[in-house]
């Protein structure tokens, strides 16, 4: 095969369908709708995460059809296939949540597997919930074929501007006696009005914004309502865009550079995004061969302010940011201030600066995004902490509303269930530092989100009076004085495994430290007495994950072995 632009477009599919020796493959494809003419076109895989599992993805089947139509109209032959999704919102607080982060790896594996086997020349991947977005991008990065990611879009607010976090916090209020059962049911019935991802700057909207800033989505994709003409148009345009990328041979490795990841981190900070972005961006970067680590978030965080007043710690919802123009005006503001790399290539075939050249500013009367000279917080809310409790790092989300320093007495729990029971029983009191351990990538396994405990703390009115630290993760909807991703994790003998009830723990988000008031001699004594717990799973996907997964500080990946 020559390396002309036309031949490049069929670099992979030609090996599957060209020549007499591929007659059997062509015969099977005829049965799913291929014609003689289609065999001469580049094949575009449309990776759909459609599922009835969650409202985040329940509309994505329709978006996949729009992407298919766009690819076909531009001269390709689109083939729609599915990958999985799970629902954090449904599984949170249960054993099922252990499969959440695992699903990110399964999604990446499945996209790589289908596209690698079937010989797709380019891809569109459409995701709508927390883990399937980084999972999709990781799959695209592994394949390194011309690709575009489409975000499924945000949900509309529920009655009274409620959302899924309203329900979790109402559950906490009910358990403390502060809310009647009838009011809890009313919130439950009205908070989730239809399709779309959770409505604040939680992990889904954070990752959608990061992926757009990275250059892997079309401009505007991250800030559109799930059910809207704009989102349908975005899906169709993505299908068309892949054919242009094929002509120019622009692949994820050309777009997902170190500078592009710095752009993504910068936008996440400015938006006040989820701590999960740290885990996922490191994983995505390492998948494409870019070295990115915890300290990069600290370095960039010293010069990038928090500008967006978005939930969970702020006031506004994603649909309200959509109404004033989404993240494009914010990115233009950051670019003009020298905080973004404008020369990074994107899936439009143009640079970020070229994409933003004609973007208008936000309306003068909007209150959602602060000007650069009047930020909500001068430095990043994402703090990477080190100390004798986290020698390999931990990640905190400190907006400043919680304060920047907390010192208190450890209240130790060996699982999320134990912690939830203790909180509901009133065992956690003002001044405590709740320690939830053995919930890391290997120990959990699966590094569950602690949304249920943090929501219970908020619901009981203790949000400003206790802190919570864990080797697990936090939902993008968690807020309060919380520290996650503590590494090494307790299951591997990290210092978190050695903490006992009553130990004094200090978290300092200005000095970026987390420490327990114990001498090295005492820690050594306790370490000698510690024994690693037996694995919680010995068969199945969770057992495989626990054996293969890397540390949270390196992205919790399962396909890279040292």
- The residues annotated with a catalytic role in the active site are 475
Contacts of 386 (CB under 8 A, 6+ apart): 393, 394, 512, 513, 514
Tokens for 47, please give them: 């990776």
Question: What is the spatial distance between Cα 101 and Cα 546, in angstroms, rounded to a whole number?
Answer: 11
- For 360-395, b/e burial (b = at least 16 CB within 10 A) is eebeeebebbbeeeeebbebbbbbbbbbbbbebbbb
Tokens for 557, please give them: 């990946």
Residue 523 phi, psi (nearest 5)? -65, -40
- Among residues 203, 212, 243, 181, the alpha carbon closest in space to that of 42 is found at 243
- Among residues 230, 383, 381, 227, the alpha carbon closest in space to that of 310 is found at 381
Question: What is the spatial distance between Cα 76 and Cα 69, in angstroms, rounded to a whole number?
Answer: 9
Q: In Å, how far are 268, 326, 368, 369, 452 from 365, measured between CA atoms?
A: 23, 15, 10, 10, 36
Q: Do 381 and 272 meet the contact criterion of CB atoms below 8 Å apart?
A: yes
The four Cα atoms 384, 389, 392, 395 give a dihedral, to 10 degrees, of: -30
Tokens for 411, please give them: 């209240």
CA contacts within 13 A on the Cβ side of 99: 14
- State how beta strands 382-387 and 390-397 pair: antiparallel
Rg of the Cα atoms in the chain = 23
- The H or E element spanning position 546 is helix 540-548
H-assigned helices in 58-161: 60-73, 88-91, 99-118, 132-143
Residue 80 phi, psi (nearest 5)? -90, 135
- Residue 42 is given by DSSP the state P
Tokens for 187, please give them: 């919130």
**Helix/strand number for the chain, H first, E second:** 22, 12
Question: What is the spatial distance between Cα 330 and Cα 64, in angstroms, rounded to a whole number?
Answer: 29
Question: What is the spatial distance between Cα 210 and Cα 205, in angstroms, rounded to a whole number?
Answer: 8
User: Length of the chain, please?
Assistant: 562
**What is the separation, in whole angstroms, between the first and last Cα of the chain?**
36
């Amino acid at each position: 095969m020559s390396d002309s632009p036309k031949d490049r477009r069929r670099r992979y599919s030609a090996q599957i369908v060209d020549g007499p020796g591929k007659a059997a493959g062509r015969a099977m494809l005829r049965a799913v709708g291929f014609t003689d003419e289609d065999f001469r076109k580049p094949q575009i895989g449309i990776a759909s995460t459609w599922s009835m599992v969650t409202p985040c993805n329940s509309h994505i089947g329709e978006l996949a059809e729009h992407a298919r139509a766009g690819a076909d109209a531009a001269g390709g032959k689109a083939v729609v296939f599915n990958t999985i999704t799970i629902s954090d919102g449904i599984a949170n607080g249960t054993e099922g949540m252990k499969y959440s982060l695992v699903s990110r790896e399964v999604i990446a594996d499945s996209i790589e597997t289908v596209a690698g086997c079937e010989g797709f020349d380019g891809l569109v991947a459409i995701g709508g919930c927390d883990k399937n977005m980084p999972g999709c991008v990781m799959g695209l990065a592994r394949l390194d074929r011309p690709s575009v990611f489409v975000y499924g879009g945000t949900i509309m607010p529920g009655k009274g501007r409620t959302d899924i976090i309203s329900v979790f916090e109402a559950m906490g209020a009910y358990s403390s006696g502060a809310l009647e059962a009838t009011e809890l049911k009313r919130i439950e019935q009205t908070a989730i009005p239809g399709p779309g991802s959770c409505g604040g700057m939680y992990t889904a909207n954070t990752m959608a914004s990061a992926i757009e800033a990275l250059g892997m989505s079309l401009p505007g994709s991250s800030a559109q309502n799930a059910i809207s003409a704009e989102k349908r148009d975005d899906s169709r345009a993505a299908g068309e865009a892949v054919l242009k990328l094929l002509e120019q041979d622009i692949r994820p490795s050309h777009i997902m550079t170190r500078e592009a990841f710095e752009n993504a981190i910068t936008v996440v900070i400015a938006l006040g995004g989820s701590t999960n972005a740290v885990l996922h961006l490191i994983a995505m970067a390492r998948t494409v061969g870019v070295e990115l680590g915890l300290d990069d978030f600290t370095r960039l965080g010293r010069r990038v302010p928090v500008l967006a007043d978005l939930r969970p710690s702020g006031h506004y919802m994603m649909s309200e940011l959509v109404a004033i123009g989404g993240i494009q005006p914010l990115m233009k503001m950051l670019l003009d201030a020298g905080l973004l790399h404008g020369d990074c290539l994107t899936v439009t075939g143009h640079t970020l600066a070229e994409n933003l050249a004609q973007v208008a500013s936000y309306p003068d009367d909007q209150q959602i995004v602060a000007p650069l000279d009047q930020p909500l917080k001068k430095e990043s809310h994402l703090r990477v902490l080190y100390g004798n409790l986290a020698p390999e790092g931990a990640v905190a989300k400190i907006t400043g509303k919680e304060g920047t320093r907390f010192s208190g007495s450890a209240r130790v729990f060996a699982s999320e269930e134990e912690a939830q029971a203790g909180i509901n029983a009133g065992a956690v009191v003002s001044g405590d530092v709740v320690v939830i351990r053995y919930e890391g990538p290997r120990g959990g396994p699966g590094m569950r989100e602690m949304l249920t405990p943090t929501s219970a703390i908020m619901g009981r009115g203790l949000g400003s009076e206790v802190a919570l630290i864990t080797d697990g993760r936090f939902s993008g909807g968690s807020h309060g004085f919380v520290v996650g991703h503590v590494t090494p994790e307790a299951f591997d003998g990290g210092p978190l495994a050695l903490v006992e009830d009553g130990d004094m723990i200090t978290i300092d988000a200005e000095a970026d430290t987390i420490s327990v008031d114990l001498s090295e001699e005492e820690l050594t004594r306790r370490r000698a007495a510690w024994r690693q717990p037996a694995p919680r799973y010995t068969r199945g996907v969770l057992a495989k994950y626990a054996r293969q997964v890397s540390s949270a500080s390196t992205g919790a990946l399962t396909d890279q072995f040292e």
